[in-house]
Amino acid sequence: MIDTAHIPSRRGRPRKIAKPEDLLAAAFRVFSEKGFSAARLDDVAREAGVSKAALYLYFKSKQAIFEALVRSAVVPNVERLEGHVAGWQGSAGDLLRMLVQAIARVVVESELSAFPKLIIAEASNFPDLARLYRTAVVERVLGLLAQIIRRGIDAGEFRPTDPHLAARLVIAPLLFSAIWKTCFARHDPTPFDPAPLLSLHVDTLLRGLA
């Protein structure tokens, strides 16, 4: 235990230099654990190692923290995915398989798996953020997938289907995995491994689309 009893508790003594990213990271941990409403800024501050008041140096309200959090997570990851696709030359099937694995790595296997849960939980309380997430993340990813599927159809690799619907079929098991992980796998003795499910998913889907 660290003995800090000898430090006089004087008001206003600065202890730590806070960075907004660190604050958002702490907020993400607390918000995704508790949800927006049940999360306390006390917890966010403690998690970030700063005082509650310090949060207000960078964000003007609890809601502003949440909004900044969603916005900060929106763009970069999608752009990473689009980068994957741009340079690829293989078949549509191979590209789909690779994308599913890439998304799994980013979303399902990292801590970001809590993000969909957070959006799902708070969509009706923050419709603007839901719309932002939908247009800037979900529909962009779905568009990317639809484009690949259309390419596969045009090349005769896939049978004719609505590419936008098929794109949703690609995504669904990924969403399932992320949710399973955050909902059920937390208190589970055996660790949750999405790989076999996703492997079967791609195999089955590609057969089904062929």
Taking CB within 5 to 8 Å according to partner kind, which of a second copy, DNA, none is near residue 201?
a second copy
Q: Which is nearer to a second copy, 48 or 118 (by Cβ)?
A: 118
The answer to whether 50 contacts DNA (rule: CB under 7 A) is yes
Residue 45 CB burial class (10 angstroms; 0-12, 13-18, ≥19): buried
Residue 164: is it exposed, middle or buried by C-beta count within 10 angstroms (0-12/13-18/19+)? middle
Residue from 11, 87, 196, 207 touching DNA (CB under 7 A): that is 11
Q: What's phi and psi for 204, nearest 5 deg?
A: -65, -40
In angstroms, give the least distance from the CB of 19 to DNA: 7
120 φ/ψ angles, rounded to the nearest 5 degrees: -60, -45
Alpha-carbon separation of residue 195 from 107, 191, 199 (angstroms): 13, 12, 6
Residue 131 found at the interface with a second copy (CB under 8 A): yes
Region binding a second copy by CB under 8 A among candidate stretches 60-68, 81-89, 105-113, 192-200:
192-200
Nearer to DNA, 51 or 91 (CB): 51
Q: Which residues contact 84 (CB under 8 A, 6 or more apart)?
A: 98, 99, 102
Nearer to a second copy, 21 or 183 (CB): 183
Q: Which of 29, 22, 96, 82 is closest to 57 using CA atoms?
A: 22
Burial 70-107 (b: 16+ CB within 10 A, else e): beebbeebbeebeebeeeeeeebbebbbebbbbbbebb
Cβ 98 to a second copy, closest distance in Å? 19
* Residue 200 site contact among DNA, a second copy, none (CB < 5 to 8 Å, cut-off depends on kind): a second copy
Which residues between 55 and 84 bind DNA (CB under 7 A)? Answer: 56-57, 60-63
| Subset of residues 91 to 130 that bind a second copy, contact rule: CB under 8 A | 117, 119-125, 127, 130
- Interface with a second copy (CB under 8 A): 33-38, 117, 119-125, 127, 130-131, 134, 138, 161-162, 165-166, 168-169, 171-173, 175-176, 179, 182-184, 186-187, 196-197, 200-201, 203-210
